[in-house]
Amino acid sequence: MGANTGTDLVRLTAAETAGVIARGEASALDVTDAYLERIRAVDGAVHAFLHVDAEGAREAARRVDARRAAGEDQGPLAGVPLALKDVITTEGIPTTCGSRILEGWVPPYDATVTRRLREAGLVILGKTNMDEFAMGSSTEHSAFGPTHNPWDLARIPGGSGGGSAAAVAAFEAPFAIGTDTGGSIRQPAAVTGTVGVKPTYGGVSRYGLVALASSLDQAGPCARTVLDAALLHSTIAGHDPLDSTSVDAPVPDVVGAARAADVRGMRIGVVRQFSGEGYQPGVEQRFREGVALLEELGATVVEVDCPAFDYALPAYYLILPSECSSNLARYDAMRYGLRVGDDGVASAEDVMAVTRDAGFGPEAKRRIMLGTYALSSGYYDAYYGQAQKVRTLIVRDFEAAFEQADVLVSPTTPTTAFRIGERVDDPLAMYLADLCTIPSNLAGNASMSLPVGLAPEDGLPVGLQVIAPPLADDRLYRVGGALEAALTDRWGHLLIDEAPQLATTTEGTA
Amino acid sequence: MSDSGSITREEVAHLARLARLALDDDELDRFGPQLDVIIGAVSRIGDLDTADVPPTSHALPLTNVTRPDEVRPGLTQLQALAGAPAAEDGRFRVPRILGEEA
């Protein structure tokens, strides 16, 4: 592979990049420099990054090159760069969660995900933009300005992990880490034509992942190919004694499954509830074509009925705000983060309330108050208690569906990328973007979004969601790998290669 | 659209106080109707009969998770104070916590 110029290097997949570095065709430093240059050239327009750690990245790359020169054995992804969503703590690199309340905070410790990446020799390019504390579906709720979709800069890149998805789609990183509480990896993947995976709850450690809703949050990979997602997944997954909800079981062979890419004999369940009113015709069309293709590849398709899914969205918008209002109580202006109004006279409680009003954006405030409401005495049983029972019904629907099918499929999100500004003042309309992704978080199972084409009416990417039972994450990769291979064969390239060229500038304006 | 949850402006102000958010009048005006619409929409879950359904608080049931009780390095005093809005004599400095009359 004659990929020795910077432009060529950033077009490689992560797997190819690892090979180029291992064979010595390019150094890890060359690769990192190529990405830093790409970020300088396009991130003024995309705004995927909140912080670029050029110096730290170049240092990490040099260490990989030195170890390679010394003949040391290194992991399969040594020297490959990546971007981290700004909700994962990084020692020495600012972590803001897209919030003014944490602006400038430099964590004194690494998340387990960060530590595993560093130990595997991956190079952290920087931290990506997100909706504040991961609350949103468009990245417009970032305190530091929205991220723009590389397919159309006037549109949203999804959320909350729009920065990670846009960085990957704009070739500013070969892959990235996202987190998914209600769809924040999968919905951005769908609207940016990339691959995103929410592993089984507990599959990846939450230690050092700044909490939004602790029973729903899960970190996972964002990538341009299914295999790259699997490689990153296998690097960050596995039991961690520092997270008491971490699953103490072997990580499924996701890389083997992505390579096998074989759906022959698999039973695929189409979820009846996820179609019809509110679904864009082009999204439904590409989804149906994807299902037909899986059938051609040797899978059997059945329809499954999950009636409780109709109540997943309301249950989620009670459970999430409840957990969020508790978790975000830690921002009290005392030990870290923003403090305003401390004039020597005001009480700690006044300073706390003034600081929280100044430091949180509108969506965070809405959800904190909603959670406070749902947990209030007198309302607890009707709201939070009832939502937890609905959660049981959703788990039961999944269990019944997985008796008929090995995986379930649906569109990832009902529409393609909407315009920036379109839903920002209409919370309910925004929430609908996560209609199909939320049930997986409530049940804790594994799911993936992968691109299945462009909607004919607007030329924007459409994602297909695959859902597997808890701990059967490998099935996502078998299905995703097979579908991606067949589509790539048909198109002659990955969908992301059809994304418009971005105008490049020599000086960053972000 | 679903029924209004009919949350009053006073209730929003009360929630804001409970949540330690010093909202101004504009925010109360804006958030009130928005919360009303959201609460109206999520109230739909009351339609489901869940009399015999146990609650699920966690996706995968785990009980009594422990880890070996081993001494590990923690944060140093300097690291712990590094992000503090104000520190004094190696401690967090906080605004007064008692009222004038105390």
Position B59 scores a pLDDT of: 74
Q: Please give the average per-residue pLDDT across A201-216, as a whole number.
A: 97
Ranges of H-type helices in A328-472: 348-359, 362-374, 386-404, 427-431, 438-443
- Provide the shortest C-alpha distance from residue A470 to chain B (in Å): 8
Position B5 scores a pLDDT of: 54
Average pLDDT over all residues of chain A? 96
Residue of A27, A85, A198, A447 with catalytic role: A85
Interchain contact A399–B (C-beta under 8 A): no
Q: In whole angstroms, give the CA distance from residue A105 to residue A124.
A: 18
The confidence band for A509, taking pLDDT boundaries of 50, 70 and 90, is very low
Cβ separation of A347 and B97 shorter than 8 Å? yes
Instruction: Decide if A164 is catalytic.
Output: no
- Tell me the chain A residues in contact with residue B12 when contact means C-beta distances shorter than 8 Å: 369
Q: In whole angstroms, give the CA distance from residue A361 to residue A98.
A: 10
Cβ separation of A311 and B44 shorter than 8 Å? yes
Q: In whole angstroms, give the CA distance from residue A140 to residue A119.
A: 33
Position B1 scores a pLDDT of: 35
Interface of A with B in 244-303 (CB under 8 A): 244-245, 247
Tens-place pLDDT, residues A280-328: 999 999 999 999 999 999 999 999 999 999 999 999 999 999 999 999 9
Do residues A423 and A441 lie in contact, with contact meaning Cβ atoms separated by under 8 Å? no
Of B20, B94, B32, nearest to A356 by C-alpha is B20
Residue of A137, A164, A184, A440 with catalytic role: A184
Q: Which residue has the tokens 């110096």?
A: A55
Interchain contact A381–B (C-beta under 8 A): no
- Provide the shortest C-alpha distance from residue A68 to chain B (in Å): 31
Interchain contact B35–A (C-beta under 8 A): yes
The confidence band for A2, taking pLDDT boundaries of 50, 70 and 90, is very low
Position B68 scores a pLDDT of: 86
- Provide the shortest C-alpha distance from residue B56 to chain A (in Å): 5
Position A510 scores a pLDDT of: 42
Do residues A237 and A230 lie in contact, with contact meaning Cβ atoms separated by under 8 Å? no
- Number of CB pairs, chain A paired with chain B, less than 8 A apart: 181
pTM of the predicted model as reported, rounded to 2 decimal places: 0.96
Q: What is the mean pLDDT of each run of 10 residues along chain B (102 residues)?
A: 66 96 96 94 94 88 84 93 96 88 50
Those residues whose C-beta lies under 8 Å from the C-beta of residue A101, and which sit 6 or more positions away, are A331, A337, A338, A355, A356, A359, A360
The confidence band for A272, taking pLDDT boundaries of 50, 70 and 90, is very high
Beta strands in A163-277 (DSSP E): 175-179, 195-198, 219-223, 267-271
Tens-place pLDDT, residues A104-162: 999 999 999 999 999 999 999 999 999 999 999 999 999 999 999 999 999 999 999 99
Q: Please give the average per-residue pLDDT across A257-275, as a whole number.
A: 97
Cβ separation of A470 and B60 shorter than 8 Å? yes
Residue of A99, A160, A234, A449 with catalytic role: A160
Alpha carbon B34 to its chain's center: 18
Cβ separation of B59 and A443 shorter than 8 Å? yes
- Provide the shortest C-alpha distance from residue B94 to chain A (in Å): 6
Interchain contact B16–A (C-beta under 8 A): yes
Q: What's the sign of the alpha-carbon dihedral A306, A311, A313, A319?
A: negative
Q: In whole angstroms, give the CA distance from residue A56 to residue A152.
A: 31
Of A182, A245, A246, nearest to A391 by C-alpha is A182
Element (H, E) at A304: strand A300-304
pLDDT at residue A39 tops 80: yes
Element (H, E) at A85: strand A81-85
Tens-place pLDDT, residues A321-367: 999 999 999 999 999 999 999 999 999 999 999 999 999 999 999 99
Interchain contact B2–A (C-beta under 8 A): no
| Terminal CA-CA length for chain B | 51
Interchain contact B28–A (C-beta under 8 A): no
Interchain contact A214–B (C-beta under 8 A): no
Cβ separation of A314 and B94 shorter than 8 Å? no
Indicate the SS3 state at residue A370: helix
pLDDT at residue A507 tops 60: no
Q: Please give the average per-residue pLDDT across A24-34, as a whole number.
A: 97
